[in-house]
Structure 1
Amino acid sequence: MRVLARLVLVIGVTAAAPLQAQTYDPNYPVCLQTFGRNGNAISCGYTSMGQCRGSASGRAAQCVVNPYFAGANPGRSRRQQRVQW
């Protein structure tokens, strides 16, 4: 009986509080933030501000710079490239 009660409790808590995915994708530099009656949403999947603005056109939306963008790997600096003896 206790096992059944715990199972029902776990299912109830899980169903009541769904998990949300990560908002910002670190692979893309530009995000589209949309505004609506059911809440706001942010989707990052744009490589340029112009590409994002095309999707935002005519909608209650705006394009924002992704604060978590990982960026391109700049490589090693000259100091790091020197041979260490």
Structure 2
Amino acid sequence: MRIPALTVVTVAALLTAAPVRAQTYDPAYPICIQTYSHNGSAIICRFTSMAQCAATASGRAAQCITNPYYGVTQAPAGRRPRGAY
């Protein structure tokens, strides 16, 4: 009796789990727009200037923010600095 009950609880937990969102910030763009709606908020990083973002945000429930991950890059895989063994 314990195994079927545990199975039902596990399946219910998996079906009701919220989907995980991918990284919100795109490190290729310095400016992001954060929009607000009754469904929640969204952050989209596709702007190269604050003025460009402000023009898009004008008249909307939105604000422009700087991207905290802009320009953050990782070292290429397989390459190590000399002497780092």
TM, length-normalised to structure 1: 0.65
Aligned mates of 1:28, 1:36 — CA distance in 2? 23
What secondary structure is seen at the aligned counterpart in 2 of 1:69? coil
Structure 2 gaps of 5+ residues are 73-85
Instruction: Tell me what 1:83 maps to.
Output: none
TM, length-normalised to structure 2: 0.65
Matches within 5 A, 1:1-85: 9=10, 13=14, 16-70=17-71
Deviation >4 Å, runs of 4+ = 9-12
Give me the identity figure in percent.
Answer: 55
CA RMSD across the alignment: 2.3
Instruction: Tell me what 2:78 maps to.
Output: none
The structure carrying a bigger helix percent of its residues is: 1
- CA displacement at 1:17 relative to structure 2: 2.1
Structure 1 gaps of 5+ residues are 72-85
The structure carrying a bigger strand percent of its residues is: 2
